[in-house]
Structure 1
Amino acid sequence: MTDKALTTCLWFDGNGEEAANFYASVFDDAKIGRIGRYVEGEHGTPGAVMVVEFELNGQKFIALNGGPQFKFNEAVSFQIPCENQEEVDYYWAKLTADGGEEGPCGWLKDKFGLSWQVVPNRVIELIGDADTVKAARATEAMYAMKKLDIAAIEKAHAG
C-alpha cells in the first residue's frame, strides 16, 4: 500500500540540509531520510543537495533547496504542544538561538525564518475555560507575553 500521509515541503535558499539537521537536533523524535541531489541539466549545481526528507514527531517534511525566490512568513507556522514549562523553555531557547526572533503570544521565528508556536497544553485549557471571565483574564495575560509562562497565566486565570 502506498503511503498517503501528507508531507510539508519547505523551500530553502541552499541551506535545506542544514535546516533539516538543525530541526532533527531539536526534536527527540526526529530522523533524516533520503537526500536527493541536482544532476546535470537541472536548475541547481550538479551534486548539490536538492531535497532532504526528514520527520519531526511523526510529521513528514521535505527541505527543498529551491533558491531565493520565496521566503517564509507567518501565514504558515508549526505548533509545538508542550506538557510543561520545561518543554516550553527548551523549545523556545533552541528555536530562537543563533538569530531566531521572539514573537508575541508564544510565536517565534527560527534562524531560517520559519514560524513556530510553542504552546503549553495547559494554556489552551485556561483560555478555553467555560467561565468566560477566567478565560478572558488568561487570554489577556497571554497576549502580554512573548514566551508563554504557564504559572503566570494560571495566576491570571484564577484572578
Structure 2
Amino acid sequence: MFNPSREQVRQFFTEAWHKRRNHGVLTPLETMAADLVELHPEYHADLEDPERANADFTVEEGRSNPFLHLSMHLAINEQLSIDQPPGIKSAFEALLANHDPHDAAHIIMEALGEVVWEAQRLGKPLDSDKYIDLVRRHATRR
C-alpha cells in the first residue's frame, strides 16, 4: 500500500500546481490534484511559496492544512470512482440533489474526518456503515 511521507504529499501538490500554472504536462493524478487546487484559491499562496508549503498548520492558527484537505478530496474522488465503501457513490448522488459537487465532497469530508478520528481514538477499523450513514443523513436534511 502506498503511504507517502508528509514531504512527498506536499511535493506532489506543489509540483502539480506549478505544472498547471506553467502549462506543463501533468499525469492524470496531477491533473486531478491541480483541478482541486483551482477550487481552493485560499491555498494558492501556500502551494506557490516553498516556505509556506513546509509550514506546520496548527489548529491554534485557525487555518486548515491545505495538504490534508486536498488529500482528503483525492481520497473521496477515488472512493466515488470505485464506489468503495459500497454505497458512497449513491450517497454522494443523493447530496447532489441539494448541493453542488464541491460542497457535496466537503460534506463527505466531514463525515470521513469524523469516522477516521473515531477509529483512531478507539483503536478500531474505520466504520464504513457509520460513514455512509452520516453522509446519507446529511443528504436527507432540508
Same fold (TM over 0.5): no
Flag the structure with higher helix content.
2
Q: TM-score, normalised by structure 1?
A: 0.27
